[in-house]
Amino acid sequence: MAFELKNTVPWGRNLSEYKSMFNLSDADLDKRIISFGDGPASFNKEMTKLNKSVISIDPVYRFSTNELKQRIDETKDIVIEQTQNNLENFVWTHIKNVEELKKVRLSAMNDFLDDFELGKKEKRYINHEMPNATQFSDFSFDLALSSHFLILYSQLGLAFHVDTITEMLRVAKEIRIFPILNLNAQKSELLDDIINHYQDSFIVKIVKVGYEFQKNGNEMLIIQRK
């Protein structure tokens, strides 16, 4: 199925959230990082400003700044309304309420939009749809991240996940995936199969993190080369 703008719901997080979702230490921030399904997050922009190295991968990067801005405008109130209707699925300690959520998300997405044209020129934002093979050679990166893409979108299926994770492990020495719940805030039905698939050949760990917005969503999956 073609990747169409009308089927996307852009929603982006910021560097502070990425740091806590992935337990990123100062040493981690200095690593060569690739982030899959990075969408309109401000992670790349904020990291680049700190002279760190991040490449973001997402099929939404085929659209123009104006198209993405328009799509964000069309969908933002729908996402907020859905969150408002499911308040009990979320933890409102760090972000206090839906108004603050909207402010934080729009601020991250506007930061992304401001950086998008320059970042495309600098090849920091790459239009690419997983699980297709990327352009990068083996171990071009120390760390590959997936925030709110793999495992959360469990409907993509096990084969999609295995193919995508295998490609991530080809280009990076370690991958981190957050969260490990599905969209219903339940343990993802794919998690055990993914762990079983990799645990003989790789070091596979579930690690607690300092971020919890989806209720019980405070763990990440790490897969590392032995």
In the complex, which residues of this chain contact ligand SAM (CB under 6 A)? Answer: 8, 11-13, 36-39, 41, 57-60, 129-130, 147-149
- Amino acid identity for residue 16 in this structure: S
Report the nearest approach of ligand SAM to the CB of residue 152 (Å): 7
Residue nearest to ligand SAM (CB): 39
Take residue 142 and report the two structure tokens written for it.
């120390």
**Considering just the CA atoms, what is the radius of gyration of the chain in Å?**
17
Q: How far is the CB of 34 from ligand SAM (least distance, A)?
A: 12
Three-class SS of 20-79 = HHCCCCHHHHCCEEEEECCCCCCHHHHHHHCCCEEEEECHHHHCCHHHHHHHHHHHHHHH
Report the distance separating Cα 223 and Cα 226, nearest Å: 9
Helices 65-84, 98-121: crossing angle, 10 deg rounding: 160
Closest approach of Cβ 63 to ligand SAM, in Å? Answer: 10
Cβ at position 81, least distance to ligand SAM in Å: 17
Which CB atom, from 63 or from 202, has the smaller least distance to ligand SAM?
Answer: 63
Residue 177 exposure: Cα atoms within 13 Å on the Cβ side = 28
Nearest to 126 by CA among 44, 52, 58: 58
* Cβ-based nearer residue to ligand SAM, 67 or 129: 129
Which C-beta is closer to ligand SAM: that of 152 or that of 223?
152
φ, ψ for residue 36, nearest 5 deg: -95, 140
In the complex, what is the shortest distance from the CB of residue 226 to ligand SAM, in angstroms, rounded to a whole number?
Answer: 27
Closer CB to ligand SAM, 37 or 223, in the complex = 37
Residue nearer to ligand SAM on the CB measure, 37 or 217: 37
